[in-house]
A and B are shown apart, each in its own frame.
Chain A
Amino acid sequence: MRKAMAVGRKEFWQIVRDGRTLMILLFVPAFFLGLYGYALNFDIRHVRLAVMDREHNRDSRQLISSFTNSTYFDIVFTETSMADIERLMNEGAIRAALIIPEGMSRDLRSGGVAQVQVIINGDNANTATTVFGYAQAIVRGVSAQFQLEMITGGQRRPPISAEPRIWYNPELTSTLFLVPGLIGFIVMISSVVSTSMSIVREKERGTWEQVRMAPISNVSYVIGKTIPYFAISLVSAFFIIAAAMVLFGLPMRGSWLLLLFTVSLFLAGALGTGLLVSTLVDSQSLAFQVSLLISMLPTIILSGFIFPIASMPAPIRAVTYVVPARYFLAALRAIVLKGVDWHVVNMELAALAVYAVGVLGLASVRLGRERL
């Protein structure tokens, strides 16, 4: 244990003196959080809308004001013609257009189906789908009101109305959903990259040979190497979480102790991954590339950070079971957004623990082979 402490203390001095490592551990995470936190936002607001109203009556005005009041749409042009709409859409001045045909009210009152047209710029399929969903919801709402009005003779209040209550993230802001993923992503990258460089750097400088000549067990060495990175990454992770609360309004509904435990397990696995990489490669540049690749891609694509795991094809979904970020994200979201107890996330915690022990064990074994 004395030997592990010696390694840990040495490693800590090195990290503190080596600006590069400290930057990877502290500055890069903050930078990523700012960059991704603001850029990654799937909510679409203030879609520029042109309106072509051929009806000009109370009903059509009501429909238009429903669009305006939704805040999803900003009406930037009214009284346009078809030719105007085509030109504005081409110029990119509008992303959507609402066309209310003559005779809408007549069709409505006669019990028939009145049609309005919504034109959406489909050059970005994701955005178009979202905008279409908004438009559909608004039209449906207005149409329900019209229907009611006809039945009740002017009284505009529905007898039964579904009032949605969205829990945990009432405004459905994607930021709240994304930030935990972002935290996992940043923590993973900075800890894997920094540890992967640590042993490789010793190989390059020749100090590795000196350490191998010393009577120290692999486990002591791995423990000693990991502890300082663990401590610094932990501080960094909580700094990111705190920043996410201040900048993006991330709530903290659960227990801090549980959060600390979860982050610790995740960090142990990430640091083990970094150590494992550094036992496999011989140059710092390769270590950097490999660790970036194996930490970044799975954490972005296969963890449920951006793409929901439930909607992945079965073979890919199977792969996600070995991505530690998947469990971390599930647990983190549950803790900060829902405020759940430990027993709700115990499966995730167990998976993280298994990963950490496995990868640290593998790193020790690999290190042992390197030494002989």
Chain B
Amino acid sequence: MPAVTVRDLTRHFGDFVAVDHVSFDVEQGEIFGFLGANGAGKSTTIRMLCGLLKPSSGTAQVGGIDVGRDPEGVKRRIGYMSQRFSLYELLSVEENITFFGGLYGLDDDAIARRRDFVLEMAGLRGRERTLARDLAGGWRQRLALGCAILHEPPILFLDEPTGGVDPVSRRQFWALINQLSRGGVTVFVTTHYLDEAEHCHRLALMQAGRIAALGTVHELKGIFSDRAIVEVRTPSPMEALRALDDLPSVEKTSLFGTALHVWLRHGERDTAPLRQRFAERGLETESIEIVQPSLEDVFMDVVERAPGASA
């Protein structure tokens, strides 16, 4: 049985449809990524799955419990960690653990046992009495994660869990998440960081209240398997963009960080016409090469093609 089953889940706010007939399953032990721009309906979906918001129609079962019928039952079976690593700043590491354990109804023995586990996991041994506000980002993040799994929930919701944390801490964090997943915990994670989404077993891209694409990272990238993406590095990207406007072999162009990503039309793999055009216009380039599509390419493509997408 899947850990999360969602069927035609819909939520209106007045006339506005925030989530529009969304359906998907998440398997037990899976790391399921939820991507989308702000306002795409990600957080509304998460809030419904966590029992905070009643669905307008459709159903969602989390850990076998219907979120519309028994939101409190859902809350007992899930752990939740938000991007703000909501700890009590004026409480010490130990006191935060004790509080959240108590909030989930753990008795003193259970709290003591889980405290040791969390201290070990988060690498906070010897810092039990440090106030949460004095912890650096990575430690705060791991402590917040620890507090979210004190009651050993089978399903864990992470809402943009790595914001404002250094790359080393992010890597450590994902190692912990993988470890939990191997232990059978289902992880449902939303993120803005596309490189982070590569850690997920499967991804759903949300756009305007609907799921625009769903699949493994490999499957999603497969959308571009028959097409080449050319990455162009140039000191004058805006001029380069204009120069490629009317080139027949180019389908579309986009800025990708400081570089330019150029989609060639189906079957085209030749970068010579691009080089020629840049030479004609006297534009300098540092490199022109065919690259693997990244998730960001997929994401941009999906967002542009989805109905109702603006610009």
Inter-chain contacts of B75 with A (CB < 8 A): 213-215
Residue A211 interfacial (CB < 8 Å) = yes
Residue A371 interfacial (CB < 8 Å) = yes
Residue in contact with A215 in the complex, picked from B53, B84, B104, CB distance below 8 Å: B104
Q: In the complex, A372 Cα to B47 Cα: how many Å?
A: 9
State how many residues of chain B have any CB contact under 8 Å with chain A. 29
**Interface 1/0 per residue, B100-115 and A, CB below 8 Å:** 1111110100000000
Within 8 A of A (CB), among B22-41: none
Inter-chain contacts of A211 with B (CB < 8 A): 103
Residue A343 interfacial (CB < 8 Å) = no
Within 8 A of A (CB), among B130-156: 131
Nearest chain B CB to A14 CB, angstrom units: 5
Residue A338 interfacial (CB < 8 Å) = no
Q: Are B82 and A209 in contact (CB under 8 A)?
A: yes
Of A5-13, A69-77, A85-93, A301-309, the one with at least 4 CB within 8 A of chain B? A5-13
Nearest chain A CB to B12 CB, angstrom units: 15
Give the residue name and chain of the B residue nearest to A16 (CB): B90
Q: Are B82 and A10 in contact (CB under 8 A)?
A: no
Q: Are A9 and B82 in contact (CB under 8 A)?
A: no
Inter-chain contacts of A165 with B (CB < 8 A): none
Q: Are A372 and B87 in contact (CB under 8 A)?
A: no
Within 8 A of A (CB), among B49-106: 50, 52-54, 72-73, 75-76, 78, 80, 82, 84, 86-91, 95, 98-105
Within 8 A of B (CB), among A286-302: none
Q: In the complex, A12 Cα to B305 Cα: how many Å?
A: 54
Residue A212 interfacial (CB < 8 Å) = yes
Q: In the complex, A2 Cα to B101 Cα: how many Å?
A: 10
Within 8 A of B (CB), among A214-235: 214-216
| Most B-side CB within 10 Å, residue of A6, A18, A213, A372 | A213
Nearest chain B CB to A280 CB, angstrom units: 19
Q: Are A17 and B82 in contact (CB under 8 A)?
A: no
In terms of DSSP, what is the predominant structure of the interface of chain A? helix
Interface bracket on A: 20 to 34
Inter-chain contacts of B88 with A (CB < 8 A): 10, 13-14, 207
Q: In the complex, A10 Cα to B102 Cα: how many Å?
A: 10
Q: Are A215 and B90 in contact (CB under 8 A)?
A: no
Q: Are B52 and A9 in contact (CB under 8 A)?
A: no
Residue in contact with A205 in the complex, picked from B50, B72, B86, B103, CB distance below 8 Å: B86
Q: State whether A214 and B103 are in contact (beta carbons under 8 Å apart), knowing that A10-B95, A371-B52 are contacts in the complex.
A: yes
Q: Are A6 and B101 in contact (CB under 8 A)?
A: yes
Nearest chain B CB to A52 CB, angstrom units: 69
Inter-chain contacts of A215 with B (CB < 8 A): 72-73, 75-76, 104-105
Inter-chain contacts of B53 with A (CB < 8 A): 372
Residue A3 interfacial (CB < 8 Å) = yes
| Most A-side CB within 10 Å, residue of B91, B99, B102, B104 | B102
Inter-chain contacts of A112 with B (CB < 8 A): none
Q: Are B52 and A212 in contact (CB under 8 A)?
A: yes
Give the residue name and chain of the A residue nearest to B78 (CB): A213
Q: In the complex, A207 Cα to B52 Cα: how many Å?
A: 15
Q: In the complex, A168 Cα to B52 Cα: how many Å?
A: 57
Inter-chain contacts of B50 with A (CB < 8 A): 213
Q: Are A3 and B103 in contact (CB under 8 A)?
A: yes
Q: Are A3 and B102 in contact (CB under 8 A)?
A: yes
Nearest chain B CB to A209 CB, angstrom units: 6
Nearest chain B CB to A21 CB, angstrom units: 10
Give the residue name and chain of the A residue nearest to B96 (CB): A10
Inter-chain contacts of A17 with B (CB < 8 A): 90-91, 131
Q: State whether A213 and B52 are in contact (beta carbons under 8 Å apart), knowing that A3-B102, A6-B103 are contacts in the complex.
A: yes
Inter-chain contacts of A206 with B (CB < 8 A): 82, 84, 86
**Interface 1/0 per residue, A331-372 and B, CB below 8 Å:** 000000000000000000000000000000000000000011
Q: Are B90 and A372 in contact (CB under 8 A)?
A: no
Q: In the complex, A5 Cα to B100 Cα: how many Å?
A: 12
Q: Are B98 and A6 in contact (CB under 8 A)?
A: yes
Give the residue name and chain of the A residue nearest to B95 (CB): A13
Q: In the complex, A208 Cα to B80 Cα: how many Å?
A: 12
Q: In the complex, A210 Cα to B50 Cα: how many Å?
A: 11
Within 8 A of B (CB), among A31-60: none
Give the residue name and chain of the B residue nearest to A19 (CB): B90
Inter-chain contacts of A13 with B (CB < 8 A): 88, 90-91, 95
**Known A7-B103, A14-B90; 6 more pairs at CB < 8 Å:** A2-B102, A3-B102, A14-B88, A207-B88, A210-B100, A214-B75
User: Which 6 pairs of residues, A with B, have the shortest CB-CB distance?
Assistant: A6-B102, A206-B84, A210-B86, A17-B90, A215-B75, A213-B80
- Contact sample, A vs B, 13 pairs, CB 8 Å cutoff: A6-B102, A6-B103, A9-B99, A10-B91, A13-B91, A205-B86, A210-B100, A212-B52, A213-B52, A214-B75, A214-B100, A214-B104, A216-B103
